[in-house]
Structure 1
């Protein structure tokens, strides 16, 4: 199926590794011009090297609002338009809530909530001027159902879910679709502590009805579809991709 992504312009944050890198590469293979943004310049360069000339990189620290403010203008300067935004970057500080430093909350909310909001605002205004566009926010199953010892992360990702629904309703008349993907357990560097420990890995997959963790390649077709013009009547949806974990009692 042709997703009609050739020569569209898509910004992907958190694209230096894991799900972000996988989505950036998949979009490039579909013919999109991808701007891959993250803090790690070296890792971004490695992703771009595999992008067939369709991925350019952009260093950005999403904790810093001044850095965030320059992201969409940089995309527009390079390409003159923006057709898709994937707000993928996120941080997941773990720990006991009773003893957590408020600074941890500040960082989690800055990266996971404020940055996606600022990027969606800047990109969406341009999309409206162009006649339409698509925004995909990457949340988590912990944003759908709370998880102990990840209270800041669960809280921030829950906010992303509500943000998606509210913005989708507001911008549907403007032909800007806003959707959310809530991934469960995927084999990425962020899950290294789990995948490299037989005991932790066994405990983790015991919670998943599918009986395994997922490969990033199992998420990217959905991401590509949601930034494609073919998804023009899909908005405000939360797509949980977790092997059935959040659907069981």
Structure 2
């Protein structure tokens, strides 16, 4: 199936590794022009080198509101438009809620909620002016069902899902579609501690009906479809990709 992504322009955050890198490379393979944003300059260079000349790396810190708000404008300055935004960057500090410093929450909300809001706002203005576009927010299954030791992260991803729904309703008439993906357990660097511990891995996999963790490439087709013009009547939805874990009683 042709996803009609050739020569479209997509901004992907958190694109130096893991899910973001896999999505950026897949979009480039589909013929899109991708602007990959993240803090790691080295990681971005590696991803861009694999992108066949279709990936432009831009180093940006999601905690820096000025840098974040400027990203969509940089995309438009380079390519003349912005057709898609994938808000993938995020952090997930773990800890006992009773002992957690409020500064940890503020940092989590800055990266996981405020940055996607600023990006959606800035990109959305361009999308509305050009006649449409698509925004995909990468949330988490912890935003659907809260998880112990990740209270702040769960709260932030729950906020992302609600923002997705409300913004989708507000911008549907502007031909801007807004959807979310809620991944479960994926084999990425974010799960390094689990992957390197046979006991932790065994216990983690035991909670997944599919009996395994997913690979980043298993999220890629959905992300590409949601940023494609083919998804023009799909908006306000959250797609859970977790091997059946959140649906298990």
TM-score (norm 1): 0.99
* Cα distance in 2 for residues equivalent to 1:89 and 1:189: 13
Residue equivalent to 2:108: 108
Task: State the Cα RMSD in Å.
Answer: 0.5
Q: How does 1:56-135 map to 2 (within 5 A)?
A: 56-135=56-135
Deviations 1:112-142 (A, max 9, x none): 0000000000001110111100000000000
| Stretches (4+) displaced over 2 A | none
Deviations 1:40-84 (A, max 9, x none): 000000000000100000111011111112211111111110000
Residue equivalent to 1:218: 218
Q: How does 1:31-50 map to 2 (within 5 A)?
A: 31-50=31-50
* Cα distance in 2 for residues equivalent to 1:176 and 1:69: 18
Residue equivalent to 1:229: 229
Q: Structure 2 stretches of 5 or more lacking a match? A: none
Q: Paired residues, what number?
A: 249
Residue equivalent to 1:171: 171
Deviations 1:133-155 (A, max 9, x none): 00000000000000000011000
Residue 105 of structure 1, CA deviation: 0.5
* Cα distance in 2 for residues equivalent to 1:69 and 1:241: 29
* Cα distance in 2 for residues equivalent to 1:228 and 1:108: 29
1:208 aligned counterpart, secondary structure: coil
Q: How does 1:181-196 map to 2 (within 5 A)?
A: 181-196=181-196
Residue 245 of structure 1, CA deviation: 0.1
Residue equivalent to 1:30: 30
1:92 aligned counterpart, secondary structure: coil
* Cα distance in 2 for residues equivalent to 1:39 and 1:81: 23
Residue 12 of structure 1, CA deviation: 0.1
Residue 20 of structure 1, CA deviation: 0.2
Q: Structure 1 stretches of 5 or more lacking a match? A: none
* Cα distance in 2 for residues equivalent to 1:188 and 1:43: 14
TM-score (norm 2): 0.99
* Cα distance in 2 for residues equivalent to 1:143 and 1:69: 24
1:7 aligned counterpart, secondary structure: coil
Residue equivalent to 2:161: 161
